[in-house]
Every structure is written in C-alpha cells, then in structure tokens.
C-alpha cells in the first residue's frame, strides 16, 4: 500500500506591515481550510521567512475559525514579519537549500509569500531553485506594500488604507488650522511615508473638493524642491486663504537628487537634524516667511491605522490571499496574484496573476501626468485612479472604546530538522 | 404702544479647537431654535470673540437645519476660533465696553462662550461688567478643552475624543512594531499634546489589557525625567518583550522644571532642536542603547480626528451646549455648564452648572494617585476614570472615501456700530 504523504502549505509575511496584510493572511488560511484534501495544514512563518530558516513554524491548524476570522480586522503582522533578504539565488543558495530542507521535513508543497518587490524576487528565486531540484513546491507571491510600487497589479493591498488615512487626516487638520489662522497657526505640515515614489503623498490630494481646498501644496519625491518657488507658493496661499496646508513626502529631494533631510545627520541646508523633513520645512517657513506653523509626522500611525481602513483595500487584500491558494491548487507557480481594474466609474475590479519574472525588481513610479504642471498638486487623472482605492469603510469591532484586535495564539510545530541555521 | 425689542444671542468658540466643539455649537443653536419667542436669532462670532470686537457677527438664522445638524459630525471651529485674551476687566475695560456696545446694537441678551480656562475667566468678567452697567445680558460658559484641565466638571468635551485617538493609535502602532521587532524597529515613540497636565498622555494607557501590554512607558509632565531610570526601563522592556512602545507628553520636564525640549532652540541636553520631544527621546535611545527606533508626532491630527471621536464625548459636547441655553433661559448668569459623573459602572452622567468664580484661573491636574509608583504608567483608579470617556463610536458620514464634513455658510449680519476697534 502506498502511503500518500499529506501536503502542507507555508505562508509568511514580509517587510513593513500594513493595516490589511492580515486580511491577506485570512484569505490564504480560510481558502486553504476549504481544501483539506489538497492542503492538510497551513504553517505560518514566525517573523516571516525567518520562520522557515529557523524552523519556527506556527501551526495555524490549532487556531479556531474565530481566531482566523479576527485577522480580517487586525492590523500589522499577526505572525511577525521581518526585514531579511534571501538575496540572489547563486550567491545565497544555502539559504534556499535550508528552506527546502525545512519544507521537505514538514511536507510543505505550497509556499505563499506576502510582500513587496524584494519578496516577489525571493519567491521567484525559490521557484527556480525547487524546479532545479525537481521538487513539486508551488511558489506564489501575494502583493503587499503601502508604497503601491509593485508593477503589473493595478494597486497594492495596504496602500488604499494609508491613502484613506492621509486624505482624512489632512482634511481634519486643515479644518483645524483654518479655524485658528486668524490669530494663530497659519501653516500646517503633515509628513507622510514614501521614500521613492509619491503615491502616498498624492493621496493627500483626495481631501480636495476643488483646487482651492487644502492641502494647498504637496511635495513629491518626484519633483525637485526649490526653496523660492515653495516659499512663494506658501506666501500666496496664506494671502489668498489665510492659511496653508502642506503634505510633504519623506522622500523629497533637491535638484541634485540629495534627500532634503537625512534621517540622522545634517540636513541639506546644513542644520543639525534629528530626523524628519516636516520640521525642516517648518524651519524654512519660519525663517523665510516668519509664519507660525505646526507639523505632524504620522510615521507608523499611517500604516497601522486599521480603524480607518478602506473597505476596497480590505476586500482586495483578502482576495489576493484567497486567489493565491486558488492559483496554487490550479498548479501554477512563480506567479503573483494581481488586482485588475475593470471599470473606473463605477469602480469594478477582478483578480489575475502575473509571472514573477515581470514583477521582480521593478518599481512602479507615480506617472508624470499624475502631478500638476506646477508640481504642487495632483491631476484629475491621478484623482480618478486613486479615488476608488479609498472607498468604503470597514470598521473593526470596539471594546471599551478601542478596537478589539486579535491576539493570535502562535503555537509552533515540533522541530524535525532541528539544527540551527546561521541567520 | 411699547415695542418689545427682539432678544438675540451670541455664541463664540475660543482657543484651540477640538473634534467636538462644533457639537457644542449644535447644542446651543439647535436648543435656541426651539425657543424663538425667547431668542429670536443666534449670532456666532467670526473667529471667536474677535467677531464681537470687530462686529463680524455670523447670522446663523440663515443656516438651514441640515447645515446646523452637520456641525454634530464636523471637527474644528466652524465659525472660526481665536487665541485672543480680553484679559483683566480693570485693565481692559474698553474691550468689554466695546463688546457690550456691539451686543446692545444687535439686541444681544445671551452670551455663550465655548472655551477653556481663559474663556471662562472672560465670561466671568463680562458678567461682572454687564451687572455694573445694569444690563440684562446672561453670560454662560461652555467647557471645551482637549487638556481636560477645567475644574468643577468631571471632564471636558474634546478630551474624550483625543483620548480615544491616542489609545487607538498607540495600540495600532504597537502591533506594527511588535511584528517587526525581530529584525527591525525595537522602540516606537508617540508624542502627544498636553504641556501642563498629563491627561492626554495618560489616555495612552487605555490601550493596555494588562500591565505587559504596550504602551510600556508613559512619560508624564508631572514626573521629572531621569535619563538613567528611563533607559533602564526601555532596555528591560525590550529584553522582556522584544520591543518597547512609548507615549511622551510634549510637556515632559527635567527635575529642575525645565522642559525637556524647547519648541525652537536648544534642547535640555544642549543639542540643536527643531521642535518635538519625540525626536529627542529617540536620540537618547539611539545614543544610550543603540536601539533602532521610530517616532511619530500627532500634533493637530489628534485633536481634529473626528473620524474616531468618542460617542460619549460627542454626546457630552452637545449636551453642555444645549444646557447652556437652558440655564440662560432660566435666568442664570456667570455660570459654566458641567458634566457630572453619577456612576462609574455602568457609566452614567448628568449635567450641572457651577459659578464661574470657582472655575476661572484654576487648572485640574492629573491626581498623583493616577500615576503608578514607578512613574511610567497609569493606575487602576486612573483607568476607571478615563475608560468611560472614550466609550462608543460616533462615525461621520463618508463620501468618496473621506468624511463628509460641513462647510458652513457664514453670512455676516449688517454692521450697526460700524467703526473699527483696534485689536
């Protein structure tokens, strides 16, 4: 009698977490549970791919349906994520070999990797390695990044929720400044993430009903910062509306490509700097225009703000996770699930997949026709693209006034390989 | 025949605005509309008390019921607020005289002033002045301050919503750091408002289910900052939980009472400083412990975040506005409406009033038994006090993915006094 070994799956979260990456986890785990004949058990990497390298496999079969469902409304990485690159296959083959060793020991035939560009590259490399080894391990990438810079997918889960947070926050703070400007603060600056591309900064523009509405100025990483044209625009805006509301991307650069501020060191104008471009912009406004200002840096608040996630984003995050399992069960490998925009108004979308070869190591930048000619705001085309991504609310439950987020039990499977691997 | 002059009312918003001060405005305007025989028309000051001094009176009778209702869910000051003190009655009598001149010209017999400690003092002074002048103008204070530092009222409208924002934000950001800590950020710092009292900082403690939960450290203005005990606590926390989540009040001080950082200048450790205590704490952690960290400064975002307002706070804000009109119509003057806690569990509350003499120029500080003995967290007693204030959600409507906030039409009444007053 031939004993059919049970096939298991492995899911890992990678890189900076988001408000909805756990919704993708839910999509994967829930779908896999619907196919117990094909996938007996899903393991999740404790702290991402480190979990595979260190054989720290969370046995999600021990989690109840309720626990798994809680992932839909819980931000950040419930299994732990990591910033750890496996790197080039040829130079780091021992890492790929180790992962395969652990996978073989635990009968893992499905690999789901939930991350950004680097993670998609890793998934591609692993797919290549298992093919060389004549192993049947399906390797599927699941898109995730607040930076929205993955190619081949219309958008990236995680981005829509940050965009909704940024648009709502600048709308609210601008109302505040507007009420106080007669006798107090005249300029407000909100610093947002996005070191390479201006997707997040651009989403601030969604707070505008018309061109006179705040935010009056967006500083994109794509548009070189000119001191004079910036201060002129601030001065004009305060003259016209009594106040000026500004979004600044952490990635704003000078003409020569140098970041306006280095996180720890001396800024581009030679001032000592404790990090943050917003205080630098504030200093410029004070020195050049002598205008009272306030500034905020949202930092992790923006990417973890599940309390104001976009429903579209939550739905898409879950869907790309679910579809990853469907693709694997169809026998696909070395692909990433994608979101496809079908129509703009009304917004309709579907799911697809793309060969990882086309995704790995490519960044989708903000198109130049998404930025206005003066470089300080977004175009109608940009608005049409962004707007559906922040649509809909998907509130978590609350208990005692705060969101009731899941604290997932993380029980590790017994080690089988059981020797240390140098990380 | 005796012509009975119509009696009108005047409402103004004062000082830093909040997520719910417009709900108080709604309470006032809506209640006054129910008594057209007593109060024919409500004017609102354009930019607070400046509106009275400059005779810029917004005629709210021109606003529809729908417009007025929109105030319930719109943050910041719909009529404009200001930072402008009338000051001591004896030294500034010309300002009080001017206000009364404008009030007489517009038949204003009811004055409602919505603000913090200074505003309550102003209301008291005006009540005194009109009494001296034998004028029948009822002067009622309506409490408002995110700082929660007004005496005689159990809490201050505006505070509960900031508290909910801070508790939710630190909960979410802590989940984020917790997921990343294995290979990346180990310490997260959120700077919150509250220069004099630690009420807002204390609200971060509501994110905890038990003492091991984040935030692990709260730095209060009431507790002198000791470098060594702080870094020791951070180090221990990271050792125990893998990460450390910190709330820091902008008002944290050294033993000698000096603020840890001055907003613009050199900080307490002699470093150049662009503002913000969070980056200073971050620098300390990096220098002393060499731990990767991230920091956020919520600034105006925290006090304008109507999207996550506490329902309790919204209800109380509306109620104190409504009750102010009731008190005026009962013939009261020189009083402030108060919120009275009846029971803690379940939380029940009522409305009251207090003589402004007892309110003016007194700050309610965080009681010492609300802070733990090590000075880094809140006590159970504090939690019992704070918890009901953040209870309940009161979501605004959304349109195209962002909250649909009212843009109130502000039509000014024709000037009657019509000469300039030097501000």
Residue B423: pLDDT band by 50, 70, 90 thresholds? Answer: confident
> Is residue A60 within 8 angstroms of chain B, CB to CB?
no
Note the pLDDT tens digit of each residue in B373-392.
999 999 999 999 999 999 99
CB nearest B297 (choices: A183, A297, A305) = A297
Residue A272 shares a structural domain with residue A348: no
With respect to residue B49, please indicate whether it lies within any of the assigned structural domains: yes
What are B188's strand-pairing partners? B245, B294
With beta carbons under 8 A apart, name residues in chain B contacting A188.
Answer: 300
Rg of chain B in Å (alpha carbons):
23
How much is the average pLDDT of B329-355?
97
According to DSSP, the β-strands at B244-249 and B217-219 are parallel
With beta carbons under 8 A apart, name residues in chain A contacting B265.
Answer: none
- Per-residue model confidence (pLDDT) at position A360: 80
C-alpha to C-alpha distance for B353 and B371, rounded to whole angstroms: 29
- DSSP code for B292: -
With beta carbons under 8 A apart, name residues in chain A contacting B273.
Answer: 274
ipTM of the complex model: 0.96
Residue A262 shares a structural domain with residue A321: no
Residue B200 shares a structural domain with residue B136: no
Judged by average pLDDT, the poorest of A225-234, B347-356, B361-370 is B361-370
Q: Are A200 and A162 in contact (CB under 8 A)?
A: yes
CB nearest B305 (choices: A84, A172, A272) = A172
Residue A285 shares a structural domain with residue A333: no
The yes-or-no answer on residue B147 being catalytic is yes
- Per-residue model confidence (pLDDT) at position A40: 97
- Per-residue model confidence (pLDDT) at position A196: 87
Residue A128 shares a structural domain with residue A264: no
- Per-residue model confidence (pLDDT) at position B272: 46
CB nearest A398 (choices: B295, B393, B398) = B393
Q: Are A215 and A207 in contact (CB under 8 A)?
A: yes
Does the distance separating the beta carbons of A175 and B304 come in below 8 Å?
yes
C-alpha to C-alpha distance for A339 and B191, rounded to whole angstroms: 37
What is the domain-level CATH number for residue A74?
3.40.50.450
Note the pLDDT tens digit of each residue in A278-304.
999 999 999 999 999 999 999 999 999
How much is the average pLDDT of A158-179?
98
Six-digit token pair at B346? 């379940």
Six-digit token pair at A201? 């900064």
- Per-residue model confidence (pLDDT) at position B263: 41
Query: Which phi and psi angles does A189 have, rounded to 5°?
Result: -125, 125
Domain boundary among A274, A304, A334: A304
- Closest C-alpha to B140, from B160, B170, B119: B119
Residue B107 shares a structural domain with residue B198: no
Residue A176 shares a structural domain with residue A131: no
* Element containing residue B211 per DSSP (H, E): none
Domain boundary among B289, B304, B319: B304
C-alpha to C-alpha distance for A194 and A166, rounded to whole angstroms: 12
With respect to residue A264, please indicate whether it lies within any of the assigned structural domains: yes
With respect to residue B413, please indicate whether it lies within any of the assigned structural domains: no
| Domains of chain B: total | 2
C-alpha to C-alpha distance for A331 and A77, rounded to whole angstroms: 28
- Per-residue model confidence (pLDDT) at position A420: 86
Judged by average pLDDT, the poorest of A38-47, B1-10, B35-44, B233-242 is B1-10
C-alpha to C-alpha distance for B409 and B268, rounded to whole angstroms: 47
What is the domain-level CATH number for residue A250?
3.40.50.460
Six-digit token pair at A56? 């720290």
Residue A201 shares a structural domain with residue A224: yes
With respect to residue B377, please indicate whether it lies within any of the assigned structural domains: no
B367 has pLDDT over 70: yes
Residue B169 shares a structural domain with residue B64: no
Domain that holds residue A179: 159-304
Q: Apex CA B351: angle with CA B370 and CA B343, to 5°?
A: 50
Burial of B88 (0-12, 13-18, 19+ CB in 10 A): exposed
A193: nearest CA partner in chain B: B296
């Amino acid at each position: 009698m031939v004993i059919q070994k049970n096939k298991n799956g492995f899911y890992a979260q990678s890189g900076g977490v988001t408000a909805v990456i756990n919704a993708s986890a839910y999509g994967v785990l829930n779908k896999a549970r619907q196919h117990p004949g094909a996938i007996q058990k899903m393991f999740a990497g404790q702290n991402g791919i480190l979990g595979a390298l260190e054989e720290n496999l969370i046995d999600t079969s021990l989690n109840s349906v309720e626990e798994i469902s809680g992932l839909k409304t819980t931000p950040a990485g419930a299994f732990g994520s990591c910033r750890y690159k496996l790197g080039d296959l040829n130079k780091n083959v021992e890492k790929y070999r180790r992962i395969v060793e652990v996978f073989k020991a635990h009968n893992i035939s499905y690999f789901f990797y939930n991350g950004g560009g680097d993670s998609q590259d890793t998934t591609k490399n692993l797919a290549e390695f298992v093919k060389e080894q004549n192993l049947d391990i399906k390797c599927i990438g699941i898109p995730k990044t607040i930076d929205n810079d993955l190619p081949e997918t219309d958008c990236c889960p995680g981005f829509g929720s940050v965009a909704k947070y940024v648009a709502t926050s600048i709308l609210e703070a601008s109302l505040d400044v507007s009420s106080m400007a007669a006798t107090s603060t005249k300029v407000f600056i909100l610093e947002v993430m996005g070191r390479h591309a201006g997707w997040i900064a651009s989403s601030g523009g969604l707070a505008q009903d018309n061109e006179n509405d705040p935010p009056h100025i967006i500083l994109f990483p794509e548009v070189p910062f000119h001191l004079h044209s910036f201060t002129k625009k601030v001065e004009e805006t305060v003259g016209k509306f009594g106040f000026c509301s500004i979004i600044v991307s952490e990635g704003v650069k000078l003409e020569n490509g140098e970041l306006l501020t280095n996180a720890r060191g001396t800024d581009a104008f030679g001032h000592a700097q404790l990090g943050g471009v917003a205080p630098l912009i504030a200093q410029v406004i004070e020195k050049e225009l002598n205008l009272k200002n306030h500034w905020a840096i949202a930092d992790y608040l923006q990417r973890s703000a599940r309390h104001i996630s976009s429903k579209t984003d939550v739905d898409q995050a879950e869907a790309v996770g679910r579809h990853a399992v469907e693709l694997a069960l169809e026998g696909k490998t070395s692909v990433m699930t994608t979101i496809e925009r079908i129509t703009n108004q009304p917004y309709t979308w579907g799911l697809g997949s793309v060969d990882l070869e086309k995704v790995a190591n490519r960044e989708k930048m903000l198109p130049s026709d998404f930025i206005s000619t003066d470089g300080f705001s977004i175009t109608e085309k940009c608005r049409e693209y962004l707007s559906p991504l922040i649509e809909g609310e998907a509130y978590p439950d609350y208990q005692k006034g705060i969101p009731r987020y899941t604290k997932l039990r993380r029980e590790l499977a017994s080690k089988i390989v059981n020797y240390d691997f140098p990380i």
